[in-house]
Structure 1
Amino acid sequence: MRIWKIATAIVVVAAAGGGYYLKDKPHLLAAGQELLAGVLSKPASANPAPAMQAMPVPVASVVKKSIPLFLNYPARTESIRSIALQAKVSGYMLDQAVPDGTDVKQGDILYRIDARDYQAALAQVKAQAERDTAALEYAKTSLTRGNDLSKTGFLSKDLFDQRTSAVKQGEATLLADKAAIQAAELNLAYTEIKAPFDGRLGRNQAAAGTLVSPGGTVLNTLVQLSPIYVTFTPTEAELTQILKAKAAGKVLADIIVPGQNEASHQGELTFLDNVVDRATGTITARATTANADRSLLPGQYVNLRLSIGERPDTLLVPQAALGSSQLGKYVYVVGEGNKVEMRLVELGPAQGPLIAVTKGVKETDQIIAGNIQKIFPGMPVQPLPQKAGA
């Protein structure tokens, strides 16, 4: 067919355009006319183009179910308690009881200061208390004898009052001695610096032999790692949704460490600030997580996913079925006559291998889930049956 058309065109052009050349060569002109008549007299052969064959494509049904609603935030971890360890008494650092970076329990000894001066001071005030105790016992015995003598008139009233005063002074002195003993015992106890709470020790800053004093050298830092805060900043618009969810019950949060796809820790919303930042339109909020494995450290960047409820009757399609163009995201569906139709879609949150579609598909649509790079709108396709469990 194509050769015939080409031949016809050549002959026509030769007959029309070459007429001037052939006007002086009648024998050539006659031969061309004879050739054209022969070609035109041949019947045309019927060779219609073959119909486009349907491409087999896997299809998936649209899934309809309720899905959880989440708000996602960048967040920072924050220690509930973090302190600088300092000495309460002066002295030379004797040793560090545990290595740097150790997880310690409340009451564990962390540092020891040379205690000999405080042991001597304690022994001194105890000896003073014993002396004053003996003096008080003598004053009480003297007062007892004076009481008997005053009744018979052998002891004047003034001397009796002096003995009474001596007993009271001795009792007061003994009370002061007991207070001095208590202070000396406290100072001696302060030579052992103990952990005030469970936490992790930092880097040592006072080597053995360092002279430390109250309010002077910082020995180390101790931070609480379990539980731990995760701080984030919702917007004013999101605050309304969070408050609504909080009124309905506990608001749970998933904490995801960058580089991981799944949540490594779970927590609960425990704090919303009482003022919105005018400059940013956000409010400070925080969740608390147990951090039982102590893998989260204060100041660490994480992602927080806050659960605020559920969205019922949501349509979901396979993420693998999504395509992208200048017009946006789209899916291909099997249309009328098993021909491909393109649907522009608006997406919601992902749910594993599926993704929510808020606009663009119907529950009855058959979504083309494979070979989407090889098909185009209007192309005939052959839907493959879905595999069991797909």
Structure 2
Amino acid sequence: MKAWKILLGGAAVVCVGAAIASYSLRAGPVAAAAPSGPPAMPVPVTAVIKRTIPVYLEYSARTESIREVSLQAKVAGYIQSQPAADGADVKGEELLYKIDERDYRAALDQAKAQAQRNVAALGYARSNFNRGDELVKTGFLAKDNYDQRASTLGQSEASVAQDSAAVRSAEINLAYTEIRAPFSGRLGRNRAPVGTLVGGSGFTLNTLVQLDPLYVTFNPSERDIGVIQTARLASKVVAKVSLPDDASADYSGELTFVDNGVDRTTGTITARATVPNPKFTLLPGQYVRVRLHVRDEPDALLVPQVALGSSQLGKYVYVVGEGNKAEQKIVTLGPTDGDAVSVKGLVETDRVITGNLQKIGPGSPVSPIAQKEASASDVK
């Protein structure tokens, strides 16, 4: 009986040992396969660029014509012809409208004829006076007759002067029958067809606007006034003008006017640039964007704008830190230059992460890929 108990105890020990061995065999491989950490995320990186960049102030603006006039007739008459068509581009002194001139030419001829008669009368009065001047000295002519001849001479001279003024007035009225362009520009819509009786009532025949150059008027805020004035004192301020829907249309002019007071209601000041428009591609009243080049910023540190992120602390970028781990750096933004923006808070040796930003955080392991080597699949 005692031997039997010994045999059963030995069998129990063997079973327990086998169970422990089996558990050790299973637990050993599982412990070895445990992961050591998340895999490194491939990220495209780019170097910080250091260079001098231009600094601009940008505003919404409207184009304005430097000169715009309403064409009206100075003298009354019927429109005889319109040599320049509606909407035509005309030169200064070009004939735009012709008024029937017959009445005014007849008035000029009459004034000239009257002047000729009075000139002849003046010649007779002058010679008669000259003879009387000799006769009165010898006593052959009474003093009263001599004075009468002098009076007649004076009246003749006054008549000739009056006739000369009448001829000049008739010539001016005749010239007014031709309405010419006071400057180069573009005509608008005609309002006086041939045969229309015009003149003396303020009736507008057409409008003429100057298209080259144009004004571009905008309203800087009062906080920008000091920057603009400083730039004007240093040199001329270049103004770049572009159309909102056509980035390829670029016009260059110069800031030529800043008003002398700030609008108390809006806190802005009126300013304008003068922009050449030789091809007449800009028209008065258009909405445009204007950029003023106010200075250059040397040694600016630039990063792609796509690398920026936002948080409650402000703008930040991720850079490749020690041990190839993502490091978040808070930055202060400066002027932009195309797709890049200048920042403060980085150093020139930083490698900025530009992709896969949503998949990383501070301390995340990363595998840097140079920007030019990064493929589209790396940044999805």
Which range, TM-score by smaller chain?
0.7 to 0.9
With normalisation by structure 1, the TM-score equals 0.82
Q: 1:233 aligns with which of 187, 197, 219?
A: 219
Partner of 1:275: 261
Asked if 1:369 is matched to 2:350, the reply is no
Partner of 1:26: none
Tell me the secondary structure at the aligned position of residue 92 of structure 2. coil
Residue 20 of structure 1 aligns with which residue? none
1:300 to 286, 293, 296: 286
Measure the CA separation in 1 of the matches of 2:41 and 2:268: 53
Please tell me whether residue 380 in structure 1 is matched to residue 368 in structure 2. no
Q: Distance between the aligned counterparts of 1:295 and 1:308, measured in 2? A: 26
Tell me, yes or no, if structure 1 residue 181 matches structure 2 residue 167: yes
Partners of 1:340 and 1:262 lie apart in 2 by 39
- Structure 2 counterpart of 1:366, one-letter code: R
Q: CA deviation at 1:375?
A: 4.5
How much has 1:151 moved relative to structure 2?
Answer: 4.2
C-alpha contact 2:54 2:337 (8 A) present in aligned 1: no
Q: Supply the distance in 2 between the matched residues of 1:47 and 1:148 (Cα, whole angstroms).
A: 146
Aligned length: 354
- How far apart are 1:198 and its partner, in Å? 1.6
Q: Which of the residues 200, 206, 221 maps onto 2:186? A: 200
Report the alpha carbon displacement of residue 379 of structure 1 after superposing the two structures with TM.
Answer: 3.7
Q: Which has the higher mean CA deviation after the structures are superposed, 64-73 or 201-210?
A: 64-73
User: How far apart, in 2, do the equivalents of 1:320 and 1:278 lie?
Assistant: 39
Give the CA deviation at 1:327.
6.6
Percent identical residues: 57
Q: In structure 2, what is the equivalent of residue 146 of structure 1? A: 132
2:139 corresponds to 1:156: no
Normalising by structure 2, we get a TM-score of 0.84
Is the 8 Å Cα contact of residues 53 and 296 (structure 2) preserved in structure 1?
Answer: yes
Do structure 1's residue 112 and structure 2's residue 88 form an aligned pair? Answer: no
Structure 2 gaps of 5+ residues are 1-14, 374-380
The AA in structure 1 aligned to 2:47 is S
Q: Is the 8 A contact 1:88 1:215 kept in 2?
A: no
> What SS class does the counterpart of residue 338 from structure 1 fall into?
coil
- Counterparts of 1:150 and 1:329 in 2: how far apart (Å)? 110
Q: Give the partner amino acid of 2:322.
A: E
What residue is the counterpart of 1:73 in the other structure?
59
| 1:198-230 deviation per Cα after TM superposition (whole angstroms, max 9, x unaligned) | 211111111111111124210111111222211
CA RMSD of aligned residues (A): 2.6
**Matching of residue 171 in structure 1 with residue 154 in structure 2:** no
Q: What secondary structure, in the 3-state scheme, does the structure 1 residue paired with 2:35 have?
A: coil
Find 1:242's aligned residue among 224, 228, 231.
Answer: 228
Q: Distance in 2 between matches of 1:92 and 1:362?
A: 79
Choose which of 66, 79, 82 in structure 2 pairs with 1:93: 79
Deviations 1:53-80 (A, max 9, x none): 5454332111122222221111112222
Which blocks of at least 5 consecutive residues in structure 1 are unaligned?
A: 1-32
SS where residue 220 of structure 1 aligns? strand
Give the CA deviation at 1:341. Answer: 2.6
Paired letter, 2:165 = A
Q: Structure 1 residues 138, 236: closer, same or farther in 2, change over 3 A? A: same
1:121 alignment counterpart: 107
